[in-house]
Amino acid sequence: MMSATLRIAAILATVSVAPVVVSSFLESSRRAEQEIASRASLCEQFALLCSVCLQRDETTTLPRLAADFLRREQSIQSIRMLRIDGRVIAEVGTGPAEKTQASAAPDNPGMKFSVTFDRYHRPWGTIEIVYGESPRRVEAWNLLGAAGLGWLCNLIFFSLALRRLFPLGENSSSATARVQNTLNAVPNSVVILDTDNCLIGMNDTFKQFCAMSEAELVGTHIDALQLKTMGMELPWYHSDKASKTFKDVQVVLSRADGDHHFLLNCSPFFDAQEEFAGNLLVFQDVTELQWNRSMLEKTMCELRAARKVVQEQRLKLEKIAEQGSLACSTDRHALFEKLSRVWDDALKRQMPMSIIMMRVVPIDGETPVRAPAANDAWLQDIAEIVQVCIPPQGIVGRYDELKLCVALPFQGIDHAREVAEDIHRVVDRHLKASFRITASFGLASSEFDEDGWESIIAHADQALDLLGTEDRNRIRCYLETSCVSKVAENSQFLVGSQ
């Protein structure tokens, strides 16, 4: 067991160090090439310096230059300066001849450099510079040392980790205790089933929930718990239970204190021969969440019902607010809002809109009652009659105390005149209360190149005012050539029965 552990640890250490070694090798090769190029450049610079001295006929200074260069560059081991005829000019350093022969080998690049120096633009001699160590060899030793140290550290680490995972001398009882302690550390209920779906292991959470001891539970078939699923097959009866993991299966456990809801996860496990050995079940208790969900759904249903009631009440209030004091008509503020929307719609459709201003007053000799409640009584009946006479898209609104405004969207002046005549004919026939009144009508339409619905109302009101008090019971159109037109033979009529 020890040798197997060490072999595994050695393999893991090698695998872990290999990428770093490869990356470091590439980097060290690049640094070695840079060092070789730097050495070559340095030797060429020294040869150039020697050439300058020869140009000045300072031949005796060459040995001194070689000694200074050797002292400044400590990595250089020897320098030899030869004339073109082979005579030695200067030779400094320790063991230059031996080093020269050793460094001439092709497997030591970067150790020996030979450069020529000139005099009067002609080759005059050769400089042989021998370095003590090859850059590649130095980088290789550094890399091997670091890689060996890293490999050794990883070997120790993996050996300790494997020995902790697979301790020597561990018997079956200690292994069982270790597994049981691991299961008890899980907060959810955990159950282990064998291939026959019988319980062979569980944690303390499951035992506390079932209020049974381990001796009573071990060997019991899982069906004894009477678990029910929410419309699907139980995982341990599925044909793929030996190869498939089932997640978040909703199951219900019925007990005396009520139903308990769980999310079940079922996974297969295998023995040492990779044969199917059973299933591992994990139960997550979501009973409280399920109860909260049901309460939330109930609350949402109540909120939707309350919202519907509020919406209905709001619509009723809006309708009452728009009607104002007359049940079949719109108050002045709501009338203007509706006219604005209808006018925009008519402009988009490029269709006309007409306005009828209707004034109802008592006949000569009678004075209208100034109390609002009394006026509303007979205006209410007239508003109901007007609402019946106009088209469905028409709008009836109270303009002031004795005036009603009738808007006819998408209708021209001719149709407005017909509607006014129909209103006049029906008033006497259908008025519910008995009042002696006359009705006058002022008409205006967008066909007269009106600028907007405000202008149409103003012109209709202006046409109504032109009738005055002497031309009651008539219809007048704005910009009409004839002043007035009779709507009935008599200039006054009775509305309602006496």
Question: Which letter does DSSP use for residue 363 in this model?
Answer: P
Instruction: Check pLDDT > 90 for residue 319.
Output: no
Residues 148, 146: Cα–Cα separation, whole Å:
5
Going from the N-terminus, what domains does the chain have, and what CATH number goes with each? 2-137 (3.30.450.20), 186-285 (3.30.450.20), 324-486 (3.30.70.270)
Is residue 373 scored above 60 in pLDDT? no
Q: Would you say residue 110 has pLDDT above 60? A: no
Structural tokens at position 171: 């018997």
pLDDT, average across residues 20-42: 84
Q: Is pLDDT above 80 for 478?
A: yes
pLDDT of residue 137: 81
| N- to C-terminal Cα separation, the chain | 124
Residue 179 backbone dihedrals phi, psi, to 5 degrees: -65, -40
Q: What percent of the chain has pLDDT over 90?
A: 3
Determine the Cα–Cα distance for residues 113 and 79; give it in Å rounded to an integer.
10
Question: How confident is the model at residue 424, as a pLDDT?
Answer: 81
**pLDDT by residue (tens digit) across 383-401?**
777 888 888 888 888 887 7
The arithmetic mean of pLDDT across residues 405-428, rounded, is 85
Instruction: Note the pLDDT of residue 303.
Output: 93
In this structure, what DSSP letter does residue 237 have? Answer: G
pLDDT of residue 301: 93
Highest mean pLDDT among 102-111, 339-348, 424-433: 339-348
Hey, what are 388's tokens?
A: 């019946």
For residue range 283-292, what is the model confidence (pLDDT) as tens digits?
888 888 888 8
Q: What is the pLDDT confidence band of residue 452, given thresholds at 50, 70 and 90?
A: confident
CB atoms within 10 A of CB 310: 10
pLDDT band at residue 239 under the 50/70/90 scheme:
confident
Q: Residue 221 gets which letter from DSSP?
A: B
- For residues 406 and 479, the model is more confident at 406
CA distance 430 to 398: 20
Which residues fall within 8 angstroms of residue 349, CB to CB, at 6 or more apart? 410
pLDDT category at 450 given cuts 50, 70, 90 is: low
Q: How far apart are CA 246 and CA 56, in angstroms?
A: 93
Q: Which of 178-187, 379-388, 404-413, 466-475 has the lowest mean pLDDT?
A: 466-475
pLDDT at 179 over 60: yes
In which band, very low, low, confident or very high, does the pLDDT at 428 lie, cut at 50, 70 and 90?
low
Strand partners, 252: 228, 261
- Region 129-139: what's the mean pLDDT? 82
- Rounded (10°) CA dihedral 25, 30, 35, 38: 180
- Confidence band of 99 (pLDDT split at 50, 70, 90): very low
Question: Which residues are within 8 A (CB) of 61 and not within 5 positions of it... i.e. 6 or more apart?
Answer: 53
Place of tokens 């001439």: 104
* Confidence band for 367, pLDDT divided at 50, 70 and 90: very low
- Residue 245: its pLDDT value, please? 87
Per-residue pLDDT for 447 more than 50?
yes
Q: Is pLDDT above 80 for 272?
A: no
Could you tell me which of 332, 364, 366 has the C-alpha nearest to residue 468?
364
Residue 379, amino acid: L
The residue among 487 and 35 whose pLDDT is bigger is 35
Q: State residue 496's pLDDT score.
A: 35
Alpha helices in 237-349 (DSSP H): 287-323, 332-349
When pLDDT is cut at 50, 70 and 90, the band that residue 304 belongs to is very high
pLDDT digits (tens, 9 = 90+) for 140-174: 888 888 888 888 888 888 888 877 776 544 445 56
CB 127 within 8 A of CB 114: yes
pTM for the whole structure: 0.35
Under the banding of pLDDT at 50, 70 and 90, the label for residue 296 is very high
Which residues on adjacent β-strands are paired with residue 267? 280
- Supply 340's token pair: 């604005």
Is the confidence at residue 102, as pLDDT, over 50? no
Looking from the CA of 338 toward its CB, the CA atoms found within 13 Å total: 23
Task: Report which of residues 275 and 318 the model is more confident about.
Answer: 275
**Burial profile 437-466: b = 16 or more Cβ within 10 angstroms, e = fewer:** bbbbbbbbbbebebeebeebbbbbbebbee
Per-residue pLDDT, 174: 60
